[in-house]
Structure 1
Amino acid sequence: MKLETDRDATEWVYAAKALAVVSAYMELGIFAKLAAGPVRVSELGLDARAALTTLPVLRHVGLVAGDADVVTLTPAGRRALEAGDLPTGRNLEALRDLSRMKDVLLHGGPVVGDDGKSKGTTGGTRADDPAATARFLDMLYASSESAAATTFAWLSPMLAARSRVLDLGGGHGRYLRVFADAGHHGTLFDLPHVVTYARGRHGDAIDYVEGDFHESPLGGPYDLALLSNIIHGEGDAEVERLLGRLAAALAPGGRVAIKDMFLDEQAAGPANAAFFGLTMLFMTRAGRSPSFAQLRGWLAAAGFGPPQVILLETHSLVVAQKA
C-alpha cells in the first residue's frame, strides 16, 4: 500500500470505507446469515437503500455475489468467514478512535472516548470490567495456539529438563501452558484480575504470582523469562528497567525471550509493526513499536549478551542470555 502512483492515495480511502462496511456487516450478523446460503436482500434486516448501496462494496472486494434481489457468499468470502479473518465490530470502534487522530497528534495518547474518559488500558484489560477482560483474553487465547506452539519449538532446545519458566504478563497463559505440559515448572506473573482469569483456565497446571511487574517482586531464580507482546505497551525507560529486573531474577546463564513486532533499522516497516504502533499510541500511556536497534541497546544495558533474532510468521522472537 505504498504511495507509488496517483491512484494509491484513493485506494487508501477505499480501503477505510470497505473496512467500515465489512466490520458493520460482521457486527450485525449478516455474514453469519449468508453462511447458511443465499438470502434475499429484503430479508437481510437492513435499510433498503443502505443495503443496495453497501452490497456493491462487498461485491467489489470479493466477499459476496448476487444481484439486486439475492446475495450469497463467494468462496473467498466463505473461507475468510470460516477462518475468522474478517474484521469485526472492534474495528468499528477503532475507526471511531482513529477519527480523533488530530487530537492525539496534538496532545498525545491515550485517546479519549465519547464520555471524555481516557481509553487507555493495562495490557488490554481493565480490573473494573471483568467481562470485557474475559472477552479480550478469550480472543487472544483462541488466536494464539499456533504462535504458542512455534515459540515453544524454538525455545525448548535451549532448556534443560524441568526448567523454571516465567511468563511475565502472561495473560491467558496459553504460551506457558505448553511449557508446563512438557514438564517444565511454569510461573505466570500478572495483575490480580488477569491471574483470576488464567487460574480459571489452567488450575494447578502452573503457578501464579499476582503483582505489578514494574515494582512487585518477580520471584525466581528462573531459567527462562518469556515476554510475549509486552514491551510494545511500555515506554523506553520502563522497558530498560524491566529488563534489568528480569536479569536479576534469572539464574546464571538464564535467558530472556521477547516475542513482539519490531520496526526495521529505518523505522519504515514491516507493516504490522508500523500500524500496530498506532494501537499503542491510542491505547497506552507510553507504548509504541520498538526497533531492533533499541532492543539491542536495552538488552546490553541490562547485562545480556548479543541477542539471537528468530523471524516468525508475523512476529520476531529475540533471545538473549544473561552474561
Structure 2
Amino acid sequence: MAANRWTPERFDDIADFWANRLVMESAALDIYGQLAGGSLGAEEVAERLGLEPGSTHLLLDALTGLGLLSKKGNRYSNSEAAARYLVPGLPDYMGHRLIAAQQSWEMWGHLSDALRSGQRQRDKHFFEDPEAARHLLLALHRDARSRAADILVRGDIDLSERHQMLDLGCGAGTYAVAFCRAHRQLHATLVDRPIAAAVARDVVASAGLEDRISVLEYDVDEHELPSNYDFIWISNVINSRSYNANRALFERLYHRLVPGGEVAVHDMIMDDTRTRPARGAVFSLYMLLSNGVGRCYTFQEVFDWLDGAGFHDIRWVREADDDMTLVIGTR
C-alpha cells in the first residue's frame, strides 16, 4: 500500500476512479481475450460479447486512450501490456486480480451502511459464489507464488527435517506446492472448502505433485481435523474468523501436531496500535463488509492464542517490505 504521504495530487488520483473501473470492467468482459487472435472492429467485438456497437466504440476508444489498445483505422488490437497481462491463460495474466476487485466494487459502496450497522454487506458468503471465489483464489495464487519463493530464499521456516505438512485453508495450494518442490521429503495434506479444493487440485496437478500432495474438502469448524503432522501452515485464514473461533482453532491444532512440530501463521499481523501495516487496517474493513466477523489481528492476540493452546518458542518473523508476516510456535 502506498506510503502515507498525502498531497493534492494523491487526493486527485483517488477521486479519479473512472479509469480504474473501466479497466476492471474490460477485463471482466474479456475484451483482451477477444483481441488475442488479431485486430477487430468495434462491431465484431460487440457481436462476440453481446454489446451495443455504439457503446463498444466508446469503450474501445477509451481503452486506446489509456494505452491498453491500439487503433488503426477502425480496427483495434491489444497493446504490448494488454497482450502480456490481460489475455486469459497466459503466465502473467492479471485479469483474475482485476475481476476480483470489480466483483467487490459494489460491496465497498455500502461501507457507510456497514459502519452504521456493524453488519456485513455481501449477500453471499465468499464460498457460496463459485465464480467470484475462483477469480479471487487465482489472484491470490499469483501473489503467493512470489511470497512463497521469498520465504524459501530467506529461510523464514526450516522444513529440511519436516515430512508431513497440513495446509489448513489452503486456497489454491500455492505454498504447499512451493514447499514440496523445495523439499523432496515433504508430503502435504491440503484442506479447504470444495470451491478452493477444486482450484488447489488443478494447481497441484499442474505441478505434477499428486503423489505427494493430497487435497481434502473440509470445513474446519464442522469436521474433525487429520492429525500426526510435524508442520501446519495456516495462511490468510485467521483474518476471516472471530477472535474466539481462532482461539478454539489453535487449541485443536495443537493436538494435531506431533511433539516438536511447528505451526506457522501467515497473515497481515498488526502492531499494537492496529494501524500498521496500513493494508491490514484497510483489510479489516473489507472483512467487516464481506463477512462481518473477521479482521486482522495483532501479534499479541496471535501469541495469546498459541500460548493458551500450549505452544512455546513463539516468534514473529517480519520483513519490512512485506505486509504478510509469520508467527511460528512449537508444540
Which of residues 169, 189, 213 is equivalent to 2:191?
189
Deviation at residue 231 of structure 1 after TM alignment: 0.9
Matches within 5 A, 1:282-293: 282-293=289-300
Deviation at residue 227 of structure 1 after TM alignment: 0.2
Q: Match of 2:268, as an amino acid?
A: M
Does the 8 Å contact 2:180/2:186 carry over to 1? yes
- Bigger drift between 196-205 and 74-83 goes to 196-205
- Cα displacement string for residues 144-167 of structure 1 (whole angstroms, at most 9, x for unaligned residues): 444444445556962354522221
- Paired position in structure 2 for 1:84: 93
Deviation at residue 268 of structure 1 after TM alignment: 3.6
Deviation at residue 211 of structure 1 after TM alignment: 4.2
Distance verdict in 2 for CA 1:196–1:66, change over 3 Å: closer
SS at 1:9 equivalent = helix
- Is residue 312 of structure 2 the alignment partner of residue 304 of structure 1? yes
- Paired position in structure 1 for 2:265: 258
- Paired position in structure 2 for 1:115: none
SS at 1:119 equivalent = coil
SS at 1:253 equivalent = strand
- Paired position in structure 1 for 2:301: 294
Does the 8 Å contact 2:163/2:186 carry over to 1? yes
Long gaps (5+) in structure 2: none
Which of residues 241, 249, 258 is equivalent to 1:242?
249
In 1, Cα distance between equivalents of 2:327 and 2:258: 15
- Bigger drift between 269-278 and 25-34 goes to 269-278
- Is residue 109 of structure 2 the alignment partner of residue 99 of structure 1? yes
SS at 2:293 equivalent = coil
- Paired position in structure 2 for 1:322: 330
Q: Match of 1:284, as an amino acid?
A: N
Does the 8 Å contact 1:263/1:290 carry over to 2? yes
SS at 1:220 equivalent = coil
In 2, Cα distance between equivalents of 1:192 and 1:35: 32
- Paired position in structure 1 for 2:30: 29
Does the 8 Å contact 2:145/2:178 carry over to 1? no
Distance verdict in 2 for CA 1:285–1:101, change over 3 Å: closer
In 1, Cα distance between equivalents of 2:168 and 2:135: 21
TM-score of the pair, normalised by structure 1: 0.76
- Paired position in structure 1 for 2:288: 281
- Bigger drift between 27-36 and 231-240 goes to 27-36
Identity, in percent, stands at: 27
Deviation at residue 98 of structure 1 after TM alignment: 1.8
Q: Match of 2:114, as an amino acid?
A: V
TM-score of the pair, normalised by structure 2: 0.74
In 2, Cα distance between equivalents of 1:253 and 1:293: 22
Long gaps (5+) in structure 1: 113-117
Deviation at residue 233 of structure 1 after TM alignment: 0.8
Does the 8 Å contact 2:107/2:121 carry over to 1? yes
In 1, Cα distance between equivalents of 2:59 and 2:44: 15
SS at 2:312 equivalent = coil
Does the 8 Å contact 1:110/1:119 carry over to 2? no
Superposition CA RMSD, Å: 3.8
In 2, Cα distance between equivalents of 1:162 and 1:4: 47
Deviation at residue 253 of structure 1 after TM alignment: 2.7
In 2, Cα distance between equivalents of 1:155 and 1:185: 19
